[in-house]
Amino acid sequence: MTFRRPAGVSPAQAPVDVLTHGMQVSFEFFPPKNADSEASLWRAVQRLAPLAPRFVSVTYGAGGSTRERTHATVKRIRNETALTPVAHLTCVGAGRDEIDAVARDYWAAGIRHIVALRGDPPDGESGYRPHPDGYANAAELIEGLKRVADFEISVAAYPEIHPDSSGSQADLDNLKRKLDNGAARAITQYFFDPEVFLRFIDRARAAGIWAPIVPGILPVTNFATVVRFSRMCGASVPAWLAHMFEGLDDDPETRKLVAATVAAEQCRGLQSAGVNEFHFYTLNRADLTRAICHILGMRPQAGTPGKAAPDGLVA
């Protein structure tokens, strides 16, 4: 995150160009499972591309389960669009040689930016156990990737502390280690209260971490799923959020409007505190993310560069 307070201007009154000047976004997708979900992913990519994101990233399934699909998606974005694709890569289920080979393959394909992660244990396993010949954690993975090539590297950060961490300081020490090992920026786990993020930034800066920390924004499409997932990843779900989605389980139209409003308010709160970069967990849907970006002042860029894809999918 770049922290930039518009000097002397109340955010609520600031002209739009002051608030949006220099704003950057990135979009996260997951690799599609079948032809139908591939088509909806590409529709989402097409709808979001004109916002000229800094990059679009593609996740790596838990336990390395989507390795081939992640590669295929990243390479398709690289080959068929003018967007900058970024590959997520985890340490799970593979030895160092195997992971280094994947990284070399990405470099050869022109992929220069990786989100380097430890990953979670495969389903059914309690607690993370590194592969016997593998990288033990994200910090080690970064060292390995940097030996392969001079990748730009982003890493994960946790405003509400990673569930495996012994505490706030240990989590910050780990983030610092990842940045010291060569990561250029951190992207946060999602959170809902802007204050949670802003307090985390204060703690990180006090710990001497000055790299950009970009807030990860999750527009809520299914509240029950968010509650379940948040229990696992340690994100808190405030009571006001539950109240917002109360009674909307069978009302998808209203739910969508509420979801856009909630996430837009969250982002506006951050924007008014000087945050001008956002990473959106799109869940392969363009509608909410596009609406939120619009409210933040972003407009499709005329003549957004796009390669002429044979299927005409790219803006």
* Orientation of helix 96-108 relative to helix 67-80, angle to 10°: 10
SS3 138: helix
Task: Pick the piece of the chain touching ligand FAD (CB under 6 A) from 17-25, 110-118, 237-245, 261-269.
Answer: 110-118
Tell me whether residue 43 or residue 162 sits nearer to ligand FAD (CB atom). 162
60/191 Cα distance (integer angstroms):
21
Asked if 171 is part of the footprint of ligand FAD (rule: CB under 6 A), the reply reads yes
Is 277 one of the catalytic residues?
Answer: no
Task: Judge contact between 102 and 109, C-beta under 8 A.
Answer: no
Instruction: Collapse the DSSP code of 281 into the 3-class scheme (helix H, G, I; strand E, B; otherwise coil) and give the result.
Output: strand
CB contact at 8 A, 263 and 220? yes
Q: Does 181 bind ligand FAD (CB under 6 A)?
A: no
In whole angstroms, how close is the CB of 296 to ligand FAD at the nearest point?
Answer: 19
Among 90, 266, 271, 289, binds ligand FAD (CB under 6 A): 90
Interface residue with ligand FAD among 76, 78, 118, 268 (CB under 6 A) is: 118
Strands 277-281 and 152-157: unpaired
* Distance of closest approach, residue 15 Cβ to ligand FAD, in angstroms: 32
State whether residue 120 is helix, strand or coil. Answer: coil
Paired sense of beta strands 24-29 and 152-157, if any: unpaired
Three-state SS for 279? Answer: strand
Least CB distance to ligand FAD at residue 292 (A): 17
Nearer to ligand FAD (CB atom), residue 168 or residue 222: 168
Residues engaged in binding ligand FAD (CB under 6 A):
59-60, 62, 88, 90, 115, 117-120, 137-139, 156, 162, 164-165, 170-171, 174, 178, 187, 189, 216
Return the active site residues: 28
